[in-house]
Amino acid sequence: MGLPDFTPLLVTLVAEGALSAGDATIASDALLQAGGTPAFLAWIDPGDALDLTVTGLAAAAARAALEAALPGLDIIVQHADAPRRKRLLIADMDSTMITCECIDELADYAGLKAEVAAVTEAAMRGELDFEAALDARVALLKGMDAAVIDQCRTERVRLMPGAQTLVRTMAANGAHTLLVSGGFTAFARPVAAEIGFAAVHANTLLVEEARLTGAVARPIVDAAAKRARLLAAAEAHGTPMSATLAVGDGANDIPMIEAAGLGIAYHAKPRAAAAADAAVRHGDLTVLLRAQGYRRADWA
């Protein structure tokens, strides 16, 4: 067994409009009690976000101590020697960049939302094989008028708060942004364009004579494909993995979250939250900008 990694850590505390110097004191005390040596670094924006440093602790131990001491805050722990502002963002769509699960909403137009949503939830928790679960849900939509897809997108799909700000700020600062979804291109392409992603990869619902066939084109965008897209994009853009950021909420996001330099679980299922470097549980997607040291004045 190797020695624990006690690289100096950068800790960011976020609670927009509700963060106090007292929270920094609580954080410092918790890190000290866990065996670390903390130091206040700086406010990113007073009352919103601040940075601490800590030495002598592994990242997982620091995160556990802080989450126990400050359960109402979003806390990001990362290695201080990694690039702070990431040069590549890869993001999940459903329940991450938008507020719903598209297949569940589409199923609602067929009166099947409860049945489909139960399978979606189990798949996102990692209890079902993703591809098999996707095929089973899409099969239930066989015969649906393809025009319902546009109706569903217009009526049901809403952007997650902070999505445009996150993506456009990173892009304005030179980052490549990539939306990779286990959902469907009919939703993902318009969503990617509205948010400002440079590229998008998703599954394609097969349509014949203006009706859904009940099948999905191959190959499937699944957990392995998401990770592969991250690695390929990093190589294509000459980006070291330490300068990549991945965000998602479900079990099929875990491989890309684990592979990225900074993997963040966003209002996520327990398995994804445990696998990530940080779990955002309270704030919106601008927490990911705070993690990179962006002040509000820098936001797009």
Catalytic residue among 48, 51, 92, 277: 92
Single-letter code of the amino acid located at 165:
T
Q: Cα(71)–Cα(90) distance, rounded to whole angstroms?
A: 27
Query: Could you give the CA distance from residue 117 to residue 232 in angstroms, rounded to a whole number?
Result: 32
Spatial CB neighbours of 46, under 8 Å, sequence gap ≥ 6: none
Assess whether 253 carries a catalytic annotation: no
| CA 296/CA 168 separation, integer angstroms | 13
Question: Among the options 48, 51, 74, 94, which is catalytic?
Answer: 94
Measured between alpha carbons, how far is 101 from 187 in angstroms, rounded to an integer? 10
Three-state SS string across 59-107, please? HHHHHHHHHHHCCCCEEEEEECCCCCCCCEEEECCECCCECCCHHHHHH
Instruction: Decide: 60 and 47 in contact? Cβ < 8 Å.
Output: no
Reduced to 3 states, what is the DSSP secondary structure of residue 291? helix
Is residue 16 a contact partner of residue 48, using CB atoms and an 8 Å limit? yes
Active site residue 94: yes
- Please list the active-site residues: 92, 94
